[in-house]
């Protein structure tokens, strides 16, 4: 696979919050050395509990945030250090779909204006941008006659279709979708997922699909990366990771996903993790998962495990004692 996107040793540090004393706390490494590749037309799922750094990773990739360290390479060009002017030619290739469709659409703008915005920024004429907005409405299953309406006139599912149409306006090669269906009714989620899959086939899009719902990710992704406290702890082909998770954290996450067969659901072992995820402002030593890990041993307290091949395939896990 030649990578469309290569992310290497990505770090994002935020300043520490000020406490009651007025003194700033230690800086928070929200993303702490993340590396992955994404091929053209491929979907990589990015999963983990809230606060694990998956949304920050997505925002870094589309350069809504500046990385503190590391590289982001698109088609062989490192865009990680580019400023706004340097980013201009690359912006159109990288777009984002947000979690809450209504709050991500400007309530005072018509749908035509919202969808045209990225094209107008790229220098398209008003007439061309409007024509393209009408095509995009049709592409995402909405009627072009609704172009002059406002976001509040649409349901959540329709509003997310508008968000998707906006993301496609510039014909991007990669769309980062940050929890694109988790704010929607369950009945509507499948429709939006179907739409995203169809658009991927028709347009050859690559997706970085961020979600905490492992069932949705299992359905849409080719590969999956599991994040914990700013790091990827397991990454690989979806069948390998879902079929035989190597990292204790992945095993615990997957053991909480309901199984469709009630007998299998009753029979399976549920791994309950102790405590809450620790604060990224004060991460545990060694393997940062060790205070909650059912398999932790002495070595885990002091030595940080690196991602390496675990098992017969190509999947990698960051654990001293991965599941065979
Ligand atoms: Fe658990 Fe140790 Fe593996 Fe970390 S390195 S996941 S603490 S067994
Ligand atoms: Mg998030």
Using the predicted structure, report yes or no on whether residue 157 has a pLDDT greater than 80: yes
Report the alpha-carbon distance of residue 252 to residue 322 in Å, rounded.
Answer: 13
Greater confidence, 324 or 108?
A: 108
ipTM: 0.96
Report pLDDT for 267: 84
Instruction: Write down the pTM of the prediction.
Output: 0.94
DSSP code string of 255-297: HTSPPSSHHHHHHSPP-PPPSPPPPTTSPPSSSTTGGG-TT--
The pLDDT tens digits for 297-318 are: 999 999 999 999 998 889 999 9
Mean pLDDT of 79-87: 94
The answer to whether residue 167 scores a pLDDT higher than 60 is yes
Place 7 in a pLDDT band, splitting at 50, 70 and 90.
very high
| Structure confidence at residue 39 as a pLDDT band (50, 70, 90) | very high
Dist. CA 280 → ligand 2 center (Å): 15
Q: Which of 19-23, 98-102, 218-222 has the lowest mean pLDDT?
A: 19-23
What's the CA-to-centroid distance between 145 and ligand 2, angstroms?
34
**Which residue's CA is minimally distant from atom 6 of ligand 1?**
319
Q: How far is the CA of 44 from the centre of ligand 1 (A)?
A: 24
Interval 253-263 mean pLDDT: 86
Q: For the chain, give every domain's residue range.
A: 3-16+27-93+172-317, 104-171
Q: Which atom of ligand 1 is nearest the CA belonging to 249?
A: 6
Q: How many helices (H) and strands (E) are present in the chain, helices listed first?
A: 11, 12
* Residue 168 in this model has a pLDDT that exceeds 70: yes
CA separation for the pair 217, 44 (Å, rounded): 9
59 Cα–ligand 2 center, Å? 10
| Number of the ligand closest to the Cα of 183 | 2
| pLDDT above 90 as % of the chain | 82
Once rounded to an integer, what is the mean pLDDT over residues 29-35?
97
Token reading at 219: 């359905």
Mean pLDDT, rounded, for 31-57:
96
Tokens found for residue 142 = 């909405």
Q: What is the pLDDT of residues 262-282, one digit of tens each?
A: 888 888 888 888 888 888 888
Q: How high is the pLDDT of residue 268?
A: 84
Q: What is the pLDDT of residue 1?
A: 55
- The protein residue whose alpha carbon is closest to atom 5 in ligand 1 is 319
122 pLDDT above the threshold of 60: yes
114-132: average pLDDT: 95
Mutate to test the pocket of ligand 1, among 297, 299, 308 (most ligand atoms within 8 A of CB): 297
- Ligand 1: residues with CB < 6 A are 247-248, 287, 289-290, 293, 295-296, 300, 305, 319-321
> Which residue carries 């080719």 as its tokens?
222
Mutation test residue for ligand 1: of 252, 300, 318, 322, the one with most atoms within 8 Å of CB: 300
Homologous superfamily of the 3-16+27-93+172-317 domain (CATH) = P-loop containing nucleotide triphosphate hydrolases (3.40.50.300)
Say which ligand is closest to the CA of 296.
Answer: 1
Whole-angstrom CA distances from 141 to 133, 134, 156, 159, 188 are 12, 11, 14, 11, 13
Residue 311 pLDDT: 83
* Residue 299 alpha carbon, nearest atom of ligand 1: 2
């Amino acid at each position: 696979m030649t990578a469309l996107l290569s992310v290497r040793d990505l770090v994002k540090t935020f300043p520490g919050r000020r406490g009651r004393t007025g003194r700033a706390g230690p800086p928070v490494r929200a993303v702490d050395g993340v590396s992955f590749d994404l091929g053209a037309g491929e979907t990589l799922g990015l999963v983990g509990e809230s606060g694990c750094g998956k949304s920050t990773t997505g925002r870094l990739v589309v350069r809504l945030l500046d990385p503190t360290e590391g590289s982001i390479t698109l088609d062989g060009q490192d865009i990680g250090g580019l400023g706004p002017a340097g980013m201009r030619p690359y912006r159109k290739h990288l777009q984002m779909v947000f979690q809450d469709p209504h709050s991500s659409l400007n309530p005072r703008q018509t749908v035509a204006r919202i969808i045209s915005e990225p094209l107008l920024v790229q220098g398209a004429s008003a007439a061309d941008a409007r024509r393209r907005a009408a095509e995009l409405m049709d592409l995402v299953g909405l009627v072009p006659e609704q172009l002059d309406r406002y976001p509040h006139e649409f349901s959540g599912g329709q509003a997310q279709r508008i968000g998707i149409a906006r993301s496609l306006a510039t014909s991007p090669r990669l769309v980062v979708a940050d929890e694109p269906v988790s704010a929607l009714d369950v009945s509507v989620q499948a429709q939006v997922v179907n739409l995203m899959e169809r658009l991927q086939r028709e347009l050859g899009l690559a997706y970085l699909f961020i979600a905490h719902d492992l069932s949705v990710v299992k359905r849409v992704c080719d590969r999956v990366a599991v994040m914990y406290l700013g790091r990827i702890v397991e990454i690989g082909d979806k069948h390998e990771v879902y079929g035989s998770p190597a990292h204790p954290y992945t095993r615990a996450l997957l053991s909480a996903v309901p199984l469709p067969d009630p007998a299998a659901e009753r029979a399976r072992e549920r791994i309950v993790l102790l405590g809450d995820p620790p604060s990224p402002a004060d991460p545990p030593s060694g393997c940062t998962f060790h205070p909650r890990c059912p398999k932790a041993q002495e070595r885990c307290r002091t030595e940080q495990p690196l991602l390496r091949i675990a098992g017969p395939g190509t999947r990698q896990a960051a654990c001293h004692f991965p599941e065979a």
